[in-house]
Structure 1
Amino acid sequence: MFFLAIIFIAVFIGAFIQGATGLGLGLVITAILPFFLTVKETTLLVLSLLVISGLTVTFKHYKHLKWKEIIGFLIIVLIGRLIAFFILAQYGEMDFLKTWLGVALLLIVFYQMSLAKSLKKIGDSTQSKRRVLQVGLGLASGIIGGVFGLGGPFLVIYFLLIYPTHKFSYIVSVQAVTTVASIFSVSIHAVNGDFYPSFLTYFLVGIVAVLIGTNLGLRIFERVNVKLVKRFTFALICISAINIILFA
């Protein structure tokens, strides 16, 4: 029961932040659960729950979704997810991957903190450089998202560039790509036999937390102080990442 409570709390916090800011579910869960599960188990749970969270947000803001503008980027993300499948299937049970996870969490947080300056530079770049950036961010989201469940920050960077002033188009695009990519990853892992019986219990607890947390986050989406929430989230993740590197 204690472990199920930990799962509920971690998922609820992540889902709430995800609903309010478009980012957070994967970051929060992967900052907490690797103390109790392998990286592979954590990632599979994150990916499964991202489907639920993503569908919730996508259906709510579907009218703002423009598939023609995201399909090319989505294909690149899916190629990255296929590469990630082989990495996670081969090394997902090994402890050294937790160290890599901790490092990845720290790097993502530091990059997110410098995002505004990075976006300004990107906005001033040429069309050819933007194409290279699209491929780079798509593959990074696919691979890191498929191995660690941490592809969201790269989607945020890309769609903030595409929709700098269209708040709802930005958040629904992030969630739509996340949902499709997560369904793809979960499907190929299911075919590979990577899920186990007790996973269903974790998933059901997580669904309840996702639905409650995401909907609460969406309710304050227009009023939330995004900067304050992200600062708190990044501080939590940095602490957890350091602990993962040192002790997990």
Structure 2
Amino acid sequence: MTMETLLLFFLFCVGGSVIQSVTGFGFSIFCMTVFPFLIGNYHAATAISGMCGATMGICIAWRHRRDINVRLVVPLSVSYFIAFPLGVKLTLILDEDMLLRVLGGILICLSLYFFFLSDRISLRPTIVGGLCCGFLGGLFSGFCSIGGPPVVLYLLAAAKTKEEYRASIQFYFSVGNSYGVLVRAFNGLITTQVLGLWILALFALLIGGTIGGKIFNRVNAAVLRRMVYAIMAISGCTMLF
């Protein structure tokens, strides 16, 4: 990677961590629009995104640990553990060009969903619902490191307060992404390049998390999310076509 691409990688990590700090999710959605192109390797891109997600999840969950509702996270995590390796195996079967096309399609579908349907769809917070959302989250996380949307849908319906939602979803991300790092390491996907970029990303996450914490109550989160969704759609079209 050149100095220019390393700088872009760093800046996108900062931006993604700001988004995650303000909205509760979105780092991988934002960063996976460019990581495959900047890093030049799809597997490395998903691995780095997952490691950053685990790092942020652990830090934020620890900070708000008193508000975590473990009972909400258990069914999500159980099915996540089953589905995640399946998603990783798919990435090992498909070639790089096909992976980017599928990722592009997923980004477009997610952007359309968030723009037009997210406020109209709600789930009943049942154990079966948690298992289903966790399975989808695990499958998408293993395949493209974007497993937040199904879980966001479930926890928004299940959590009793905004604080419980924020703490519980970050606990879910910390558990799921940490498990994901182990699965990818077992499959030989955590390389020296991945570790080096993750170390660089740690400084970006610290900067972005600090900025996000300071502007949490000053930024219109809905506007910020819509900007991210627009970037998703544009990037998805680029990958697909």
Q: TM-score, normalised by structure 2?
A: 0.92
Deviation string, structure 1 residues 113-150 (Cα, Å, up to 9, x no partner): 2111102xx35xxx7xx444323211110000111010
Match of 1:228 among 205, 223, 227: 223
Q: Distance in 1 between matches of 2:68 and 2:127?
A: 21
Unpaired runs of 5+ residues, structure 1, are: none
Kept in 2, the 8 Å contact 1:38–1:95? The answer is no
In the TM superposition, residue 22 of structure 1 has moved relative to its aligned partner by: 0.7
Match of 1:57 among 56, 60, 63: 60
1:98-177 equivalence runs, <5 A: 98-113=100-115, 114-119=117-122, 122-123=123-124, 130-163=126-159, 166-177=161-172
Match of 1:31 among 23, 30, 33: 33
Deviation string, structure 1 residues 28-72 (Cα, Å, up to 9, x no partner): 111112223232111001001111111121111111002123212
Match of 2:80 among 77, 80, 83: 77
In the TM superposition, residue 210 of structure 1 has moved relative to its aligned partner by: 1.2
Q: What letter is aligned with 1:46?
A: S
In the TM superposition, residue 220 of structure 1 has moved relative to its aligned partner by: 2.7
SS of 1:31's equivalent?
A: coil
Kept in 2, the 8 Å contact 1:34–1:244? The answer is no
What is the alpha-carbon root mean square deviation over aligned residues?
1.7
Kept in 2, the 8 Å contact 1:56–1:214? The answer is no
SS of 1:194's equivalent?
A: coil
Kept in 2, the 8 Å contact 1:103–1:241? The answer is yes
Q: Distance in 2 between matches of 1:192 and 1:134?
A: 27
1:179 alignment partner in structure 2: 174
Kept in 2, the 8 Å contact 1:85–1:185? The answer is no
Q: Distance in 2 between matches of 1:145 and 1:222?
A: 29
In the TM superposition, residue 213 of structure 1 has moved relative to its aligned partner by: 0.7
Q: Distance in 1 between matches of 2:216 and 2:109?
A: 26
Q: Distance in 1 between matches of 2:218 and 2:77?
A: 30
Q: What letter is aligned with 1:161?
A: A
1:4 alignment partner in structure 2: 6
Q: Distance in 2 between matches of 1:69 and 1:27?
A: 23
2:189 alignment partner in structure 1: 194
1:211 alignment partner in structure 2: 206
Kept in 1, the 8 Å contact 2:75–2:131? The answer is no
In the TM superposition, residue 215 of structure 1 has moved relative to its aligned partner by: 2.7
Match of 2:240 among 223, 242, 245: 245
Q: What letter is aligned with 1:231?
A: R
SS of 1:157's equivalent?
A: helix
Q: Distance in 2 between matches of 1:51 and 1:160?
A: 21
Q: Distance in 1 between matches of 2:93 and 2:169?
A: 28
Deviates more, 1:29-38 or 1:131-140: 131-140
Q: TM-score, normalised by structure 1?
A: 0.89
SS of 2:60's equivalent?
A: helix
Q: What letter is aligned with 1:244?
A: M
